[in-house]
Amino acid sequence: MIRVKKIAHASYEMPDVEKQIEYYTEILGLTLTERDKDAAYLASTVDHHSVVLRNGAQARCTRIGFQIGQDDDLGEFERQVQGHGIKTQRKNDTEPTIRQMVTFEDPKGTVMEVFKRDDFSGQRFPTKGIVPHKLGHVAFHVTDVKNVTKYYCDVLGFRVSDWMGDFFSFLRCGPDHHTINLMETGSNRHFHTAFELRDWGHMQTACDYLSVNGYKLLWGPGRHGIGHNLFAYHRAPNGLITELFAELDRMNEDLGYFEPRPWHRDRPQKPKVWEKDPSASNLWGILPGEEMMK
Ligand SMILES: [Fe+2]
Please, which pLDDT band fits residue 164 given cuts at 50, 70 and 90?
Answer: very high
pTM equals: 0.97
User: 229 CA distance to ligand 1 centroid (A)?
Assistant: 9
pLDDT digit string, tens, across residues 194-244: 999 999 999 999 999 999 999 999 999 999 999 999 999 999 999 999 999
* Separation of alpha carbons 268 and 259, rounded Å: 8
User: 254 CA distance to ligand 1 centroid (A)?
Assistant: 25
Mean pLDDT of the chain: 97
Across the range 71-88, mean pLDDT stands at 98
User: 29 CA distance to ligand 1 centroid (A)?
Assistant: 19
User: 71 CA distance to ligand 1 centroid (A)?
Assistant: 30
* Separation of alpha carbons 242 and 191, rounded Å: 9
Mean pLDDT lowest among 77-81, 205-209, 218-222, 290-294 = 290-294
Is 44's pLDDT higher than 90? no
Is 132's pLDDT higher than 90? yes
* Separation of alpha carbons 252 and 185, rounded Å: 31
Is 177's pLDDT higher than 90? yes
Contacts of 220 (CB under 8 A, 6+ apart): 230, 231, 232, 233, 282
User: 222 CA distance to ligand 1 centroid (A)?
Assistant: 12
User: 194 CA distance to ligand 1 centroid (A)?
Assistant: 6
The reported pLDDT for the residue numbered 63 is 98
Is 118's pLDDT higher than 90? no
User: 179 CA distance to ligand 1 centroid (A)?
Assistant: 9
Please, which pLDDT band fits residue 45 given cuts at 50, 70 and 90?
Answer: confident
Is 133's pLDDT higher than 90? yes
User: 76 CA distance to ligand 1 centroid (A)?
Assistant: 32
Is 88's pLDDT higher than 90? yes
Name the residue among 271, 275, 278, 248 with its Cα closest to residue 261.
Answer: 248
User: 234 CA distance to ligand 1 centroid (A)?
Assistant: 12
pLDDT digit string, tens, across residues 247-287: 999 999 999 999 999 999 999 999 999 999 999 999 999 99
Is 122's pLDDT higher than 90? no
User: 219 CA distance to ligand 1 centroid (A)?
Assistant: 12
User: 137 CA distance to ligand 1 centroid (A)?
Assistant: 7
Q: Is 209 exposed, middle or buried (0-12, 13-18, 19+ CB in 10 A)?
A: middle
The reported pLDDT for the residue numbered 119 is 83
Spatial contact of 192 and 233, defined as CB atoms under 8 Å apart: yes
Stated as kind and residue range, the H or E segment containing 75 is helix 74-82
Is 3's pLDDT higher than 90? yes
The reported pLDDT for the residue numbered 80 is 98
User: 70 CA distance to ligand 1 centroid (A)?
Assistant: 28
Name the residue among 49, 157, 148, 54 with its Cα closest to residue 108.
Answer: 148
* Separation of alpha carbons 138 and 131, rounded Å: 18
User: 190 CA distance to ligand 1 centroid (A)?
Assistant: 11
Spatial contact of 52 and 41, defined as CB atoms under 8 Å apart: yes
User: 238 CA distance to ligand 1 centroid (A)?
Assistant: 18
pLDDT digit string, tens, across residues 57-67: 999 999 999 99
Q: Is 224 exposed, middle or buried (0-12, 13-18, 19+ CB in 10 A)?
A: buried
